[in-house]
């Protein structure tokens, strides 16, 4: 998995996730794919999620162009499509995990079209001050806080 945070102006941040699916070779559709995201605290930003200025409802959108983990910036962020967007509700606590998000269709598309697997972007529906979701990355010191993709065949 590759992860990249894209800090924009006014501290708007988006996150990119890409799981390596190229080794999956199946002619049969997958039964189910789920993504689990784990809340974390971040030094300098604060503890976990925030809804101080309103809803922190967020979406997973399919990325449609390439990006490189250590080179992408706000100004060079990849394109994405609203088609197949997965919408998630606002958090109910600062440290709420989002477990077993159904990403079956999105992952099946990535398996069927490996050359078009550019991953997903996590972004708030309304990107405003004092709203945030913060999840552990693949670099998190605590391996139990890293994003997890589970695929059932």
pLDDT in tens, 6-53: 555 556 788 999 998 988 877 778 999 999 999 998 766 667 899 989
Q: What is the DSSP letter of 111?
A: H
Question: Which bin fits 109, alpha (ψ -120 to 50), beta or left (φ > 0)?
Answer: alpha
- Residue 77 near residue 14, CB atoms below 8 Å: yes
Residues shown for the chain: 153
> Does the pLDDT of residue 87 top 50, yes or no?
yes
Domain that includes residue 135, residue range? 2-152
Residue 92: alpha-carbon gap to chain centroid: 19
Query: Mean pLDDT across the chain, nearest whole number?
Result: 89
Please report the pLDDT score of residue 5 as a whole number: 52
> How many structural domains comprise the chain?
1
Q: In the Cβ-directed half-sphere of 87, how many Cα atoms lie within 13 Å?
A: 8
Of 113 and 43, which is predicted with more confidence? Answer: 113
Please give the pLDDT value at position 9. 52
CB atoms within 10 A of CB 106: 20
> What's 42-107 look like in SS3?
ECCCECCCEECCCCCCEEEEEECCCCCCCCCCHHHCCCEEEEEEEEECCCCCCCCCEEEEECHHHH
Region 102-126 average pLDDT: 94
Q: Which of the two residues, 23 and 71, has the higher pLDDT score?
A: 71
Beta bridge partners of 51: 131
Q: What is the mean pLDDT of residues 127-145?
A: 91
Contact between 5 and 117 under an 8 Å Cβ cutoff? The reply is: no
Instruction: Specify the pLDDT at position 28.
Output: 78
d(CA 7, CA 5): 6
- What is the model's pLDDT at position 23? 82
pLDDT at 1: 43
pTM to 2 decimal places: 0.89
Reduced to 3 states, what is the DSSP secondary structure of residue 145? helix
What confidence score (pLDDT) does residue 105 get?
95
> Considering Cα of 122, then 143, then 36, then 132, what sign does the dihedral take?
negative
């Amino acid at each position: 998995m590759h992860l990249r945070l894209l800090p924009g102006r006014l501290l708007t941040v988006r996150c990119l996730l890409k799981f390596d699916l190229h080794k999956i070779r199946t002619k049969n559709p997958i039964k189910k794919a789920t993504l689990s995201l784990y809340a974390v605290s971040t030094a300098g930003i604060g503890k976990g999620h925030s809804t101080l200025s309103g809803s922190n409802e967020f979406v997973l959108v399919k990325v449609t162009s390439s990006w490189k983990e250590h080179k992408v910036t706000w100004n060079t962020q990849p394109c994405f499509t609203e088609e197949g967007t997965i919408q998630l509700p606002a958090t109910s606590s600062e440290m709420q995990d989002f477990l077993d998000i159904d990403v079956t269709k999105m992952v099946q598309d990535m398996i069927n079209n490996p050359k078009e697997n550019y991953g997903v972007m996590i972004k708030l529906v309304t990107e405003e001050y004092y709203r945030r979701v913060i999840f552990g990355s693949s670099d998190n010191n605590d391996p139990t806080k890293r994003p997890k993709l589970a695929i059932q065949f």
